[in-house]
Amino acid sequence: MNKRSKMLRNLAIRFIHYLSDDLAYATIGGSVARGTADSYSDIDITLYTYNQSLTSANIFFENEYIQIEVKSVEQLPDLEAVLHDPWKNRYIKEATIIFDHDQRFIKEKQKIDLYYHTNDCKEKMIHTVSDLCADRMNIARDCIRDGKEYSAMIAAKGAWAEAALLYQFVSSGLLSTDTVISTIERDFRDTDQLRKIFSYTPMLNMSELSGVMGFVRKELREKGNGFSFGLSPVQDELTTRKSERLLKAGDYFNLLWQTYGEALWLYFETAEGLSFEKYREELSEEGRLAMEKLGFLKVKNNEVDELERMTNELLEFSCRKFKTKSDLK
């Protein structure tokens, strides 16, 4: 764990001492938990409470940003839940416990961490993700048939993203979305078609992306969407920080990927079941243009076929990586 990560971890521990007695457990995630935090990093804290007297929020504490997600104690994954669906509950693997009122979670987390290193766990994850990818590709084709070309692209990109996350975990044990693109670019030299589908071109002004994301948030706030956590102006500052980090590193494709993922999160949280086609109609002309800049485009030509090919390739390589590592044990 680097010096910045230790400092932010200690700050998070100080912060939770100010919270109510309703708190049962608390974890930190992201770069702080991984020990790779830098000057651009914030702190991600998940609080598990008995009565949910606390609420999810973005706050500024001791000159650092903290993103707080609040869940009920009933939502705390135990070993049984992980055994049932390790992929759904994978976030718990990276979490670091900073508060445990009865030591129960610490003991359970030790068992969970051991399970994530087993072959049974990886086999289940590969089967789960393979099914998820197939379902999303079927949705993409149904959307094309129904004339929902934006939704088709979202579903097909989602299938590829799920397979990419799986490949990253099987090959390196990482779960962060921040490192997916660098992992794929490292292990797969030919990413030109992928970049084209995700709308990355040298002509795109990457320095504008955080501002475009901010415009989308502002419009959604003015429309009265109730997702206060994701639409908070603090999120604009955090997006700018992330953008500055990736721009400085020249990691432009990764910047587009992460910004698209953030916009997709906002869509899912504010759409109230609307297809993207209907959702898009309710945006202003400027809002629709902003979403296009963030990667929300109609599917064209054979892009679903190409994304399906790349998705299946990732699934196949995940299986090979798993088999190779199993044979070496």
Whether 190 shows a pLDDT value over 80: the answer reads no
Q: Which run of H or of E encompasses 197?
A: helix 192-197
Q: What is the DSSP string of 2-57?
A: -HHHHHHHHHHHHHHTTS-TTEEEEEEEHHHHHT---TT--EEEEEEESS--S--E
Note the pLDDT of residue 301. Answer: 79
Note the pLDDT of residue 79. Answer: 96
Q: How confident is the model at residue 172 (pLDDT cuts 50, 70, 90)?
A: confident
Whether 206 shows a pLDDT value over 70: the answer reads yes
11-15, 74-78, 202-206, 215-219: least confident range: 202-206
Note the pLDDT of residue 225. Answer: 76
Phi-psi region of 124 (alpha: psi -120 to 50; beta: other; left: phi over 0): alpha
Whether 243 shows a pLDDT value over 80: the answer reads yes
- Compute the mean pLDDT over every residue in the chain, rounded to the nearest whole number: 91
pLDDT tens digits for 258-267? 999 999 999 9
pLDDT tens digits for 37-82? 999 999 999 999 988 777 888 999 999 999 999 999 999 999 999 9
Domains and their CATH numbers in the chain? 3-115 (3.30.460.10), 120-315 (no CATH)
103-107, 252-256, 312-316: least confident range: 252-256
Note the pLDDT of residue 54. Answer: 76
Residues β-bridged to residue 69 = 46
Interatomic CA distance for residues 271 and 146, integer angstroms: 19
Note the pLDDT of residue 121. Answer: 93
Planar angle of CA 108, 318, 312, nearest 5 degrees: 125
Q: How confident is the model at residue 19 (pLDDT cuts 50, 70, 90)?
A: confident
Note the pLDDT of residue 196. Answer: 81
Amino acid at 262: E
Residue 161 in 3-state DSSP? helix
Whether 202 shows a pLDDT value over 70: the answer reads no
| Cα 92 to Cα 74, 96, 104, 161, distances in angstroms | 14, 8, 15, 19
Who contacts 242 (Cβ-Cβ below 8 Å, separation ≥6)?
A: 40, 210, 255, 258
Whether 244 shows a pLDDT value over 90: the answer reads yes
Note the pLDDT of residue 308. Answer: 96
Higher pLDDT, 201 or 24: 24
Amino acid at 185: E
